[in-house]
Structure 1
Amino acid sequence: MSSSNYQLSNTVPDDQHSNQNSKLCGLCNNNRSKYCCPRCEILYCSLNCYKSEKHSSCSENFYRECISEELANHDADDEIKNKTLEILKRMQNEDLGMQFDDDDDYKAVLDSDDGSEGDLEERLKDLDLNNADQMWNALTEDEKNEFRSLCNGGDITSVIPLWEPWWMYHKERKVVEDLSEENIEEKEALKICPALKSVISFEKLTKVEPSPAIKMNIANVLASYAFVMRYFNGEVEPVEGTLCCLMICGNLDANENCYDLETAVASAAQKCLQSDFIETDKESLEVMKHDTFLILQGPSHENRDHYSKAALSHLHEIFSEARKTERRMKKTSSNKNEFSKIFPDHKREHLPALETAKLMKCLKKLEYYLSYVQSYGMDFE
């Protein structure tokens, strides 16, 4: 990192010691000051004071500015980038705060980081990561307090990487194209898609002519799926994800029919805004509309239905897992452990009940839609 632009702390110059030695730390008011903050110029004595609550707003903003400027420098060499990444990691562990008097102090902090991370990894090694109470009991009091702070402050999403949807790739259609040319990028894109569920052909499934509205109804389902995947950042808890999907998908929830593509997507968006359980905004709903378009256009013109089939297959899997989970939950004890008492929402008591009969009908409908797409496709042209 360029030291000419930023220093994480400024040691008081020797020629100023005679003036500054008599001054106490401006944060703890107990010890003699040894450093000067480069941002607010307050005098302080130690790392603990620099990271203290009194100084947190200044130090955290200063780190962010340092990192933002360095990352914006496209001419930075590998060494600088590696240093920046090291700082990011240290910031995440809340162990970066100032320049140390010697290398031993600095190494000691890094060594303590490694031990802490290794200890946590060891504690979680044999636990069921889906059991919130087991995970909670494995944490130290400091870790529990930090988790509470993140939840109460609404900042927990800041430590979770943003999920990249699997439907983003699309190969533009060329006027003249070499059909013998292998598209490696498309093959790689298909590998990260959810596995396609095997269904019987539509002709064997039913002799009844499909309704003209079926494509629009499928689009309503796809729009709801796209929103749910983004809403849960790609990690969908089956029961809560299923309930969320039913809240916004009028076709699956109440057999509503849509008669044009715009209405099919707008219906899901409107129900998101009306829901008492979903927090979203218009910008997120615009993303949902674009995601629906990307799913419908597929990875390529020749393979345009693959994303639609993958999305319906994945939604069928989510609904199936929700059904299994509900069965298991009915057999387990209703006693609440420590985590359940502190964070009751994770037990879904704040959500409506999941109707088993409706869930079975939805699973059959999703199989019906998959069979239709497999036989007829989703071409709206």
Structure 2
Amino acid sequence: MVVCRFCPAEHARYACPKCSADYCSLKCYQSRDHLNCSEKFYQNEVQSELAFQAQNEIDPQDKKRLLEAFKRLNQPDLDGHDDDDDSASADEQDIADRLAGIDLDDSEAIWAHLSDQERLEFEKLVQTGDIQKLIPDFQPWWSLTVKSKLVQELDDPDELEQFQGRCPPLPEKIPPLRQLTQMAPASCVKYNLVNVIFAYVYGVRYFMDDHLANPLAFTEAVLNLSGNLAQNEAFESADKALAAASLQVTHHEHLAMSQDFTLLCKKDVFQIIQGPCPNYSWYYLLSALGDLKQALKLGAKALKTSTIKTDKLGQTLRTAQPVYVRLVKKAILKIDFYLSFVKDHNQDLHLLRTVMK
């Protein structure tokens, strides 16, 4: 058993990506004995966050979002209440002047042009999860409200058109479950599915719907959160499946955002399982699983070409690369199983939908 370097009574679950020190919790990671290393990491994390916001191609909307983030950092009220319009305009112009001519893909350059106060504020926001306050409200595809008719026909095409174009496309071919296994699905399958969907929605929200552009980091985040995908963990109820995934958020402190963020993801799971409307209760599940499968396939491909096995969250993977690739491939096969299960056994989810109301 590996013992935490900073509190020897505890089992070490993590290793510092810079100095390789074994530690068990965020408290130990931020301890006085590890301060020099952890402070450097948070600077890199802020740089990574800035680069992530800038993305690979900067269009006017992206630049506007980054400017707005800096503008709000300069304001003492994060809720954006400021009666001095002239002062706000001056702040925005000052930010624009500082960003002029800077490559927004270069996080080092951006960091260098922040004031000391802005750096401290940004570090605090990253550590507490309040970084979300700087980002415009994100509306995921499953939040679409479908207008239902008083009298509906099964498989009404007009109803389908309301959400079909907004959702990730369904997989072209989903084989019958009997082609994958001759055994009847266990009762825990529907609860395991809850655990997987939570990891998916958390990752999508964390990456602001850019998860396909960050497949390796997204794959690692999903496998960190879903015990079912990573360790074949089975659950006896939806509550236990959600609780297990939520607990994993606290075990991977660089994934943690806030309690409100986690609660929002739990509500997302319910929305996806409920589906857009009664006639298409299965649609969001198939769409989410198909999107997750695509991301995992991209993640596996990225793993094969990566030389440093480190996720965006700063934690070095202790598993050898070929072993981790096999783990991702097993997760993809499990997603195939869930796709076939939802398609053939959607009725088995009726009670789950009722319980989660």
Normalised-by-shorter TM-score class: 0.5 to 0.7
Mapped to 2, the partners of 1:164 and 1:306 lie a distance apart of 18
Moved more, 296-305 or 172-181: 172-181
Partner residue in 2 for 1:94? 94
Higher Cα Rg, which structure = 1
Partner residue in 1 for 2:138? 163
Partner residue in 2 for 1:77? none
Partner residue in 1 for 2:285? 308
Of 228, 241, 247, the residue aligned with 1:264 is: 241
Q: Report the alpha carbon displacement of residue 142 of structure 1 after superposing the two structures with TM.
A: 3.0
Moved more, 304-313 or 207-216: 207-216
Partner residue in 2 for 1:370? 339
Of 136, 142, 145, the residue aligned with 2:113 is: 142
Of 135, 138, 161, the residue aligned with 1:187 is: 161
Mapped to 2, the partners of 1:63 and 1:367 lie a distance apart of 44
Segments of 5+ residues of structure 1 without an aligned counterpart are: 1-55, 69-83, 96-112, 130-134, 335-343
Distance 1:137 1:87, change over 3 A: same
> Which amino acid in the other structure matches residue 321 of structure 1?
L
Aligned residues: 269
Of 280, 285, 288, the residue aligned with 2:262 is: 285
Of 159, 174, 196, the residue aligned with 2:170 is: 196
Give the superposed CA RMSD: 4.0
Q: Report the alpha carbon displacement of residue 177 of structure 1 after superposing the two structures with TM.
A: 3.9
Asked if residue 220 in structure 1 is aligned to residue 195 in structure 2, the reply is yes
Mapped to 2, the partners of 1:62 and 1:375 lie a distance apart of 48
Mapped to 1, the partners of 2:149 and 2:242 lie a distance apart of 29
Q: Between the two proteins, what is the percent identity of the paired residues?
A: 21
Mapped to 1, the partners of 2:193 and 2:228 lie a distance apart of 8
Mapped to 2, the partners of 1:359 and 1:200 lie a distance apart of 21
| Matched residue SS, 2:184 | coil
Moved more, 168-177 or 193-202: 168-177
| Matched residue SS, 1:65 | coil
Flag the structure with more relative contact order, 1 or 2, with Cα contacts below 8 A and sequence separation at least 6. Answer: 2
Moved more, 257-266 or 151-160: 151-160
TM-score normalized with structure 1 length? 0.58
Asked if residue 356 in structure 1 is aligned to residue 325 in structure 2, the reply is yes
Instruction: Answer yes or no: is the 8 Å Cα contact 2:82–2:88 preserved in 1.
Output: no
Q: Report the alpha carbon displacement of residue 170 of structure 1 after superposing the two structures with TM.
A: 3.6
Q: Report the alpha carbon displacement of residue 66 of structure 1 after superposing the two structures with TM.
A: 3.6
- Output aligned runs, 1:1-381, within 5 Å: 64-66=80-82, 91-94=91-94, 119=101, 135-136=106-107, 142=113, 151-154=122-125, 157-171=132-146, 176-177=151-152, 183=158, 187-198=161-172, 199-236=174-211, 237-330=214-307, 346=312, 348-350=314-316, 352-353=318-319, 355-377=324-346, 379-381=349-351
Mapped to 2, the partners of 1:234 and 1:148 lie a distance apart of 26
Mapped to 1, the partners of 2:147 and 2:141 lie a distance apart of 17
Mapped to 2, the partners of 1:148 and 1:266 lie a distance apart of 34
Mapped to 1, the partners of 2:245 and 2:80 lie a distance apart of 37
Q: Report the alpha carbon displacement of residue 167 of structure 1 after superposing the two structures with TM.
A: 0.3
| Matched residue SS, 1:154 | helix
Q: Deviation string for 1:334-376 (max 9, x for gaps)?
A: 9xxxxxxxxx985845455461221111111111111221222
| Matched residue SS, 2:142 | coil
Q: Report the alpha carbon displacement of residue 190 of structure 1 after superposing the two structures with TM.
A: 2.2
> Which amino acid in the other structure matches residue 235 of structure 1?
D
Segments of 5+ residues of structure 2 without an aligned counterpart are: 1-71, 352-357
| Matched residue SS, 1:212 | coil
Distance 1:349 1:278, change over 3 A: closer
Instruction: Answer yes or no: is the 8 Å Cα contact 1:136–1:144 preserved in 2.
Output: no
